[in-house]
Copies of this chain bind each other. A is one copy, B any other.
Amino acid sequence: MQPDSAALAALSPEQARLMIRQGEWQKPTAGLCAGYTQANLAILPKEWAFDFLLFCQRNPKPCPLLDVTDAGSAIPKMVAPKADLRTDIPKYRIYQHGELTDEVTSLTELWQDDWVGFLLGCSFTFEHPLLAEGIPVRHIESGKNVPMYISSLPCQDAGPFGGTMVVSMRPMTAAQAIRAVQITSRFPSVHGAPVHIGDPAEIGILDIYKPDFGDAVEVKPGEVPVFWACGVTPQAVAIQSRIPLMVTHAPGHMLICDVKDSAYAVF
Which residues from chain A sit less than 8 Å from chain B, CB to CB?
A: 46, 49-50, 53-54, 56-58, 60, 65, 67-68, 70, 77-78, 156, 158-159, 182, 185, 188-189, 192-193, 266-267
Contacts and interface: CB of A to CB of B under 8 A. Distances in A.
Given A50-B49, A57-B65, A188 B266 contact: yes
A75 to B, nearest CB: 13
B156 A267 contact: no
Contacts of A53: 50, 53-54, 57
A189 B185 CA distance: 13
26 contacts: A46-B50, A49-B50, A50-B50, A50-B53, A53-B53, A53-B54, A53-B57, A56-B57, A57-B57, A57-B65, A58-B67, A58-B78, A60-B189, A70-B158, A70-B159, A77-B156, A78-B156, A182-B267, A185-B266, A185-B267, A188-B188, A188-B189, A188-B266, A192-B266, A193-B267, A266-B266
A206 B50 CA distance: 39
A259 to B, nearest CB: 14
A182 B267 CA distance: 8
A77 B78 CA distance: 30
A182 to B, nearest CB: 7
Given A192-B266, A193-B267, 11 more contacts: A49-B50, A50-B50, A50-B53, A57-B68, A58-B78, A70-B158, A77-B156, A185-B266, A188-B189, A188-B266, A193-B266
Nearest to A159: B70
A126 to B, nearest CB: 13
Contacts of A68: 54, 57-58
A63 B70 CA distance: 18
A231 B32 CA distance: 39
